[in-house]
């Protein structure tokens, strides 16, 4: 019983941090059809930036948005200078983001070195909780809660704001959208910024669980893809559900089938991708 | 319903989500006929073509080619049964040479297309056939050029030429003269008018002169439905058609 | 440059290359060139997909690595050391895997295809990493040696170098034949206008599938050579990193040119090895060059070379027929160049 509860919580926590990556990923793809391979690199830069801030004695809850802001600046720079011109060409945009992922990866290595670091959870939540035989970091609960709040906030944004309407409608015909008075460029910038912010802030938020090490982005990328495939490209609800599912499968997989845990994540993913290219909840595009 | 119809469309409906693109469309085209499909933008003309060609699956109804039900067949199977089509925008391969494009059209139904070791250049017959076709429109001199260096009108001509060269049973032309200069357009209309009757031609057109010039029977679509179907003179005089197109007078 | 001249140049270059080990260069460089030949085969195999068929695949490393693993496992666990049977088994494995992957991946195209191939590559990587009893896990497979081929001993750097060179030239020859054949022309048509190709009567999915499996076979050959080169196979051999490296070689060199990706392989191999002695930041530099190529010289090194040659010889690069390098198409395609389907 303890085993299941432990892994359930752990899986939900891991899934919650995956959501912070997947949400941005799916928003960016949903609106702009850009597969941002650098999304997990944004996360990586976020963890490291956050770690640096923490070491400079910045309070955790302040460091989170600051890390997010830093990554947003970097992300916007990349988008503005390089991607914006090619955002309409899905393939080139994807290949470009691959290049940026490589550069960010190496840049992080240069700036922060190659030693794996652990990221301390904020003081109040550093302790473990005990429920009967179940022992787990209280930070897990905080992360699950925060991620849920962010998901709710994003959903509200999607349903209630003009930007959200644009995101939901998608921009299949840019010229037409512009003709209707929609500031398509601004929407793209804002969404890319949101995606980068979520990944950057998510980096520090997820840091206490993942740690910070070179190659973290490479390890997370396939999981992010798995989430998107399961949840559907372009669907926020799908990204949330998908993240939790992958988080749980990953955690239980490692516990139950250590020799095949990666396999257990990706086989259903590949199956879903082939049978239903739009995932479980996504829109048909 | 005549059983010797070339193309028989029975109650075809096509939905895209909540949009009803085609609603219970039926029409019959006799072999050798020249049929025009007209209607305002958004009437469903291209969707109809896509349903005939196989790019779109109807949610209801059937498409029959010479009595054979092809409703569920993918496009390439229909091509093998004798359906050829052109597209609204030019669909030649831009970075291949003109002659490569022609050879691809010729290769499509020949077994040699699977051959993967000997160069295409070895097949002199193929090349000669291609050059001969290009000579019809005076392009054999530029056969080695990348297609994207041809003018728009020339590209359209090549496309239609290629479609005709396949001697299909059914030829679907999607706005064949769109964007062409008058001279080029009349070249096409002459070509179509004089083409032998073993090919049935259905065309979508906006240019009424072209329609009334080539076509013997017109089907009018509006909001995905057939609103008129008859000889050109009838259609001209048809009240609803006048409404749709000219708001009254013709 | 007429085809005959290019072919003669390649043959001459090949002959010269064969002499390299006798020139007295440090073994290190001969070794790097060997690696170049090996990755050259892998890169050309991916070019068949990317440059000629228009399919950007993220799973070439899976086939490359699977072949390598089969060679290692066959020798260490089943005492199958002879070259030809090992090659046969390895190719069977790579092609078999591709046959399965292809069925799944080709249900989509464009971005969907990329994502599925990426996921599939990860599955194989995961198996290699975690199925320790078969793959040795993180430690990989060691303890196997290069076999003699046709009586020739390959343990020496020079002889193995020449062997890989020969295999490269054979693969190059085969790939050139394929892309210049009717089948190759069909693939290029699919790259440009798949919708029209279907309307003409081509079974698009089937041709793509054939290209996918064929490319995997060549990647498998490279994988076999790689296993013997290192006398080691590990999960990194079929990782996403490797797949990305191969893709970069293709784009850097110029898609749809075959020789371009070979040049790209040379650049990546030398930069990642030799440059890493000068600076730690070779990955950053490589990434920057790759981005620059995508932005400013999308036809890659070959494209740059072609334009330089034409400018130098005083011809207008835009005039048709101004050149006809060793390409079956009229001009080298670049990723993303095919216009969107209307």
Subunits adjacent to chain C (3 or more Cβ pairs under 8 Å): A, B
Residue the block writes with tokens 């923490």:
A54
**C261 part of contact set with chain B, CB < 8 Å:** no
Q: Is the pLDDT of residue C273 over 90?
A: no
Tell me whether residues C185 and B79 touch, CB distance under 8 A. no
Query: Distance (Å, rounded) from C-alpha C149 to C-alpha A220?
Result: 42
Angle of helix C111-130 relative to helix C83-105, nearest 10 degrees, comes to 130
B146 secondary structure, DSSP code: B
Sign of CA dihedral A200, A202, A208, A212: negative
**C54 part of contact set with chain A, CB < 8 Å:** no
Highest mean pLDDT among B215-219, B231-235, C209-213, C328-332: C209-213
Residue B219's DSSP bridge partners are B37, B229
**C131 part of contact set with chain A, CB < 8 Å:** yes
> Residue A279's closest chain C neighbor by CA?
C112
What pLDDT is recorded for position C277?
74
Three-class secondary structure of residue C297 per DSSP: coil
Nearest to C306 by CA among C330, C329, C323: C323
Q: For A139-153, B232-246, C215-229, C315-329, which range has the lowest pLDDT when averaged over its residues? A: C315-329
Which letter, b or e, does each residue of A90-117 get, where b requires 16 or more Cβ atoms within 10 Å of its Cβ?
A: bbbbbbbbbbbbbbbbbbbbeebeeeee
* pLDDT tens-digit readout, C33-79: 999 999 999 999 999 999 999 999 999 999 999 999 999 999 998 98
- Give B93's contacts (C-beta < 8 A, 6+ positions apart): B100, B101, B104, B147, C188, C189, C192, C193, C196
**C192 class by beta-carbon count within 10 Å (0-12 exposed, 13-18 middle, 19+ buried):** buried
Q: Which of A22, A95, A100, A272 to mutate to test the interface with C (most CBs of C within 10 A)?
A: A95
The ipTM assigned to this model is: 0.91
**C107 part of contact set with chain B, CB < 8 Å:** no
What pLDDT is recorded for position B183?
84
> Residue C201's closest chain B neighbor by CA?
B76
Residue the block writes with tokens 């496992």:
C73
Nearest to B6 by CA among B218, B228, B197: B197
Query: Distance (Å, rounded) from C-alpha C37 to C-alpha C149?
Result: 18
The shortest C-alpha distance from C2 to chain A (Å) reads 32
Are C188 and C52 spatial neighbours (Cβ–Cβ below 8 Å)?
yes
Cα C276 to chain center, whole Å?
22
| Residue C81 CA: distances (Å) to CA of A52, A83, A273 | 53, 50, 39
Residue the block writes with tokens 């010269």:
C16
Query: Distance (Å, rounded) from C-alpha A52 to C-alpha C276?
Result: 27
Nearest to B97 by CA among C185, C325, A76, A142: C185
Query: Distance (Å, rounded) from C-alpha C72 to C-alpha C142?
Result: 7
Which residues in chain B touch residue C212, judged by CB atoms under 8 angstroms apart? none
Residue the block writes with tokens 């799944």:
C104
* pLDDT tens-digit readout, B97-127: 999 999 999 999 889 999 999 999 899 999 9
Task: For residue A274, name the pLDDT band (cuts at 50, 70, 90).
Answer: low
Query: Distance (Å, rounded) from C-alpha C191 to C-alpha C204?
Result: 10
Are A174 and A42 spatial neighbours (Cβ–Cβ below 8 Å)?
no
Are C328 and C279 spatial neighbours (Cβ–Cβ below 8 Å)?
no
Q: Quickly count: other Cβ atoms within 10 Å of residue A129's Cβ.
A: 14
- The chain-wide mean pLDDT, for chain C, equals 87
A114 secondary structure, DSSP code: S
Tell me whether residues A95 and C284 touch, CB distance under 8 A. no
Are C231 and C144 spatial neighbours (Cβ–Cβ below 8 Å)?
yes
What pLDDT is recorded for position B249?
41
Tell me whether residues C329 and B97 touch, CB distance under 8 A. yes
Beta strands in chain B (DSSP E): 7-16, 19-29, 34-38, 60-65, 68-69, 83-85, 170-174, 200-204, 217-222, 225-230
What pLDDT is recorded for position C326?
33
Which residues in chain B touch residue C193, judged by CB atoms under 8 angstroms apart? 91-93
C115 secondary structure, DSSP code: H
Three-class secondary structure of residue B108 per DSSP: coil
* pLDDT tens-digit readout, B166-185: 779 999 999 988 878 888 88
Q: What is the 3-state secondary structure (H, E, C) of A58-88?
A: CCHHHHHHHHHHHHHHHHHHHHHHHHHHHCC
Interface subset of C 191-250, CB within 8 angstroms of B: 192-193, 195-204, 214
Query: Distance (Å, rounded) from C-alpha B178 to C-alpha B114?
Result: 35
Query: Distance (Å, rounded) from C-alpha A146 to C-alpha A144?
Result: 6
Tell me whether residues C202 and B76 touch, CB distance under 8 A. yes
Alpha helices in B108-151 (DSSP H): 124-136
Three-class secondary structure of residue B65 per DSSP: strand
- The chain-wide mean pLDDT, for chain A, equals 87
Tell me whether residues C56 and A33 touch, CB distance under 8 A. no
* pLDDT tens-digit readout, A17-53: 999 999 999 999 888 888 999 999 999 999 999 999 9
- Chains A and C form CB pairs within 8 A to the count of 130
Task: For residue C278, name the pLDDT band (cuts at 50, 70, 90).
Answer: confident
Query: Distance (Å, rounded) from C-alpha B191 to C-alpha B201?
Result: 12
What pLDDT is recorded for position A176?
73
Which residues in chain C touch residue A275, judged by CB atoms under 8 angstroms apart? 107
Mean pLDDT of C16-40: 89
Which letter, b or e, does each residue of C307-318 get, where b requires 16 or more Cβ atoms within 10 Å of its Cβ?
A: eeebeeeeeeee
Query: Distance (Å, rounded) from C-alpha C150 to C-alpha C213?
Result: 28
What pLDDT is recorded for position B248?
43
**B149 part of contact set with chain C, CB < 8 Å:** yes
Cα B37 to chain center, whole Å?
11
Q: What is the 3-state secondary structure (H, E, C) of A155-177?
A: HHHHHHCHHHHHHHHCCCCHHHH
For residue A229, give the nearest of C115, C133, C283 by CB distance.
Answer: C115
* pLDDT tens-digit readout, A135-190: 888 899 999 999 999 999 999 998 888 888 887 777 666 777 777 777 888 889 99
The shortest C-alpha distance from C120 to chain A (Å) reads 7
Which residues in chain A touch residue C125, judged by CB atoms under 8 angstroms apart? 262
Are B171 and B199 spatial neighbours (Cβ–Cβ below 8 Å)?
yes
**C24 part of contact set with chain B, CB < 8 Å:** no
Q: Is the pLDDT of residue C323 over 70?
A: no
Tell me whether residues C131 and A260 touch, CB distance under 8 A. yes
Q: Which of C53, C106, C107, C182 to mutate to test the interface with B (most CBs of B within 10 A)?
A: C182
Task: For residue C342, name the pLDDT band (cuts at 50, 70, 90).
Answer: very low
Query: Distance (Å, rounded) from C-alpha A239 to C-alpha A237?
Result: 5
Tell me whether residues B100 and C320 touch, CB distance under 8 A. no
Are C22 and C158 spatial neighbours (Cβ–Cβ below 8 Å)?
yes
> Residue A97's closest chain C neighbor by CA?
C291
Alpha helices in chain C (DSSP H): 3-19, 27-47, 60-78, 83-105, 111-130, 132-135, 157-180, 182-192, 194-200, 204-230, 240-253, 259-270, 276-278, 282-296, 300-312
Considering only residues C32 and A125, tell me which one the structure prediction assigns the higher pLDDT.
Answer: C32
A283 secondary structure, DSSP code: P
| Residue A1 CA: distances (Å) to CA of A5, A10, A132, A143, A150 | 6, 14, 11, 23, 30
Tell me whether residues B91 and C196 touch, CB distance under 8 A. yes
∠ CA C107-C108-C110, nearest 5°, is 155
What pLDDT is recorded for position C338?
44
**B120 part of contact set with chain C, CB < 8 Å:** yes
Q: For A169-178, A232-241, B192-201, C121-130, which range has the lowest pLDDT when averaged over its residues? A: A169-178
Nearest to B49 by CA among B17, B75, B19, B81: B75
Q: Quickly count: other Cβ atoms within 10 Å of residue B197's Cβ.
A: 10
What pLDDT is recorded for position C333?
52
Query: Distance (Å, rounded) from C-alpha B180 to C-alpha B170?
Result: 23
For residue A106, give the nearest of C119, C281, C295 by CB distance.
Answer: C281
Task: For residue A279, name the pLDDT band (cuts at 50, 70, 90).
Answer: low
Query: Distance (Å, rounded) from C-alpha B176 to C-alpha B180?
Result: 9
Query: Distance (Å, rounded) from C-alpha C327 to C-alpha B140?
Result: 21
**B157 class by beta-carbon count within 10 Å (0-12 exposed, 13-18 middle, 19+ buried):** buried
Residue C227's DSSP bridge partners are none
Cα B67 to chain center, whole Å?
20
Q: Quickly count: other Cβ atoms within 10 Å of residue B111's Cβ.
A: 8
Q: Is the pLDDT of residue C258 over 90?
A: yes
Query: Distance (Å, rounded) from C-alpha C184 to C-alpha A264?
Result: 38
Tell me whether residues C133 and A259 touch, CB distance under 8 A. yes
Tell me whether residues A218 and C241 touch, CB distance under 8 A. yes
**B52 part of contact set with chain C, CB < 8 Å:** no
**A152 class by beta-carbon count within 10 Å (0-12 exposed, 13-18 middle, 19+ buried):** exposed
Q: Is the pLDDT of residue C328 over 50?
A: no
**C240 part of contact set with chain A, CB < 8 Å:** yes
- The chain-wide mean pLDDT, for chain B, equals 87
Tell me whether residues A225 and C290 touch, CB distance under 8 A. no
Three-class secondary structure of residue B215 per DSSP: coil
* pLDDT tens-digit readout, B86-98: 998 888 999 899 9
| Residue C47 CA: distances (Å) to CA of C10, C55, C96, C188 | 18, 9, 20, 12
Residues in chain B: 250
Mean pLDDT of C173-178: 96
Query: Distance (Å, rounded) from C-alpha B113 to C-alpha C210?
Result: 13
* pLDDT tens-digit readout, C214-234: 999 999 999 999 999 999 999
For residue B95, give the nearest of C197, C214, C329 by CB distance.
Answer: C329
Which residues in chain C touch residue A107, judged by CB atoms under 8 angstroms apart? 284
């Amino acid at each position: 019983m303890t085993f299941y509860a432990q892994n359930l919580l752990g899986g939900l926590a891991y899934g919650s941090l995956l959501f912070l990556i997947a949400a941005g990923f799916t928003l960016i793809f949903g609106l702009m059809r850009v597969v941002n391979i650098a999304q997990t690199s944004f996360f990586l830069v976020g963890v490291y930036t956050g770690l640096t801030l923490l070491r400079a004695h910045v309070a955790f809850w302040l460091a989170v948005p600051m890390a997010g802001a830093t990554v947003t600046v970097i992300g916007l720079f990349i988008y503005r200078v390089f991607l914006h011109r090619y955002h309409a060409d899905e393939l080139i945009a994807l290949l470009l983001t691959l290049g940026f992922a490589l550069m960010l990866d190496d840049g992080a290595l240069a700036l922060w070195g190659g030693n794996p670091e652990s990221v301390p959870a904020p003081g109040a939540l550093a302790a473990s909780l005990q429920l009967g035989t179940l022992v787990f970091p209280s930070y897990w609960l905080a992360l699950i809660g925060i991620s849920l709040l962010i998901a709710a906030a994003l959903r509200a944004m999607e349903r209630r704001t003009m930007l959200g309407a644009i995101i939901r409608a998608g921009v299949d015909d840019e010229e037409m959208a512009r003709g209707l008075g929609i500031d398509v460029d601004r929407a793209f910038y804002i969404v890319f910024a949101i995606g980068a912010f979520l990944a950057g802030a998510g980096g520090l938020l997820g840091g206490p669980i993942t740690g910070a090490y070179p190659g973290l982005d490479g390890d997370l990328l396939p999981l992010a893809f798995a989430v998107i495939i399961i949840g559907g490209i372009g669907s926020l609800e799908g990204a949330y559900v998908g993240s939790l599912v992958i988080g749980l499968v990953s955690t239980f997989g490692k516990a139950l089938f250590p020799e095949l845990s990666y396999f257990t994540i990706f086989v259903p993913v590949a199956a879903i991708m082939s049978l239903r290219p739009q995932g479980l909840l996504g829109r048909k595009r | 319903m005549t059983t010797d119809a070339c193309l028989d469309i029975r109650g075809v409906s096509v939905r895209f989500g909540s949009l009803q693109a085609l609603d219970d469309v039926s029409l019959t085209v006799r072999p050798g006929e020249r049929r025009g499909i007209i209607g305002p933008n958004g009437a469903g003309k291209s969707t109809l073509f896509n349903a005939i060609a196989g790019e779109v699956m109807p949610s209801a109804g059937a498409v029959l080619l010479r009595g054979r039900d092809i409703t569920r067949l993918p496009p390439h199977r229909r091509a093998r049964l004798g359906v050829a089509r052109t597209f609204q925008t030019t669909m030649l391969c831009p970075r291949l040479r003109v002659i490569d494009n022609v050879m691809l059209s010729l290769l499509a139904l020949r077994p040699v297309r699977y051959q993967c070791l000997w160069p295409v250049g070895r097949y002199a017959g193929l090349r000669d056939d291609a050059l001969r076709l290009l000579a019809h429109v005076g392009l054999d001199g530029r056969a080695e050029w990348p297609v994207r260096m041809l003018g728009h009108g020339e590209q359209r001509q090549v496309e239609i030429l290629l479609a005709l060269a396949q001697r299909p049973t059914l030829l679907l032309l999607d706005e064949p003269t769109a964007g062409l200069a008058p001279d080029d357009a009349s070249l096409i209309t002459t070509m179509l008018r004089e083409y032998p009757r073993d090919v049935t031609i259905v065309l979508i057109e906006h240019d009424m002169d072209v329609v009334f010039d080539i076509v013997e029977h017109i089907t009018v679509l509006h909001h995905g439905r057939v609103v008129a179907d008859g000889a050109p003179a009838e259609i001209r005089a048809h009240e609803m058609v006048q409404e749709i197109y000219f708001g009254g007078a013709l | 440059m007429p085809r005959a001249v290019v072919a003669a140049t390649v043959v001459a270059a090949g002959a010269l290359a064969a002499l390299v080990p006798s020139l007295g260069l440090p073994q290190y460089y001969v070794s790097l060139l060997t690696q170049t030949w090996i990755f050259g085969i892998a890169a050309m195999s991916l070019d068949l997909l990317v440059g000629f068929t228009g399919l950007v695949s993220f799973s070439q490393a899976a086939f490359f690595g699977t072949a390598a693993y089969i060679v290692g496992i066959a020798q260490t666990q089943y005492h199958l050391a002879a070259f030809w049977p090992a090659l046969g088994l390895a190719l069977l494995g790579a092609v078999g895997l591709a046959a399965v992957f292809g069925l799944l991946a080709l249900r989509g195209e464009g971005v969907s295809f990329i994502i599925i191939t990426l996921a599939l590559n990860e599955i194989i990587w995961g198996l290699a990493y975690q199925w320790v009893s078969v793959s040795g896990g993180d430690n990989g497979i060691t303890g196997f040696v290069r076999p003699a081929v046709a009586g020739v001993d390959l343990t020496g750097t020079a002889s193995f170098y020449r062997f890989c060179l020969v295999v490269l030239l054979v693969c190059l020859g085969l790939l050139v034949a394929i892309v210049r054949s009717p089948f190759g022309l069909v693939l290029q048509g699919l790259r440009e206008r798949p919708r029209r190709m279907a309307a003409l009567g081509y079974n698009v999915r089937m041709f793509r599938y054939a290209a996918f499996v064929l490319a995997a076979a060549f990647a498998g050959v490279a994988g076999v050579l790689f296993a013997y080169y290192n006398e080691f196979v590990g999960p990194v051999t079929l990782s996403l990193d490797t797949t990305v490296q191969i893709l970069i070689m293709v784009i850097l060199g110029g898609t749809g040119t075959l020789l371009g990706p070979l040049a790209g392989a040379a650049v990546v191999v030398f930069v990642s090895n030799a440059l890493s002695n000068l600076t730690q930041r070779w990955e950053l530099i490589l990434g920057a060059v790759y981005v620059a190529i995508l932005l400013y010289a999308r036809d890659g090194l070959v494209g740059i070379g072609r334009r330089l040659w034409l400018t130098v010889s005083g011809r207008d690069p835009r005039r048709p027929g101004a050149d006809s390098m060793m390409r079956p198409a009229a001009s080298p395609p670049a990723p993303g160049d095919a216009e969107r389907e209307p």
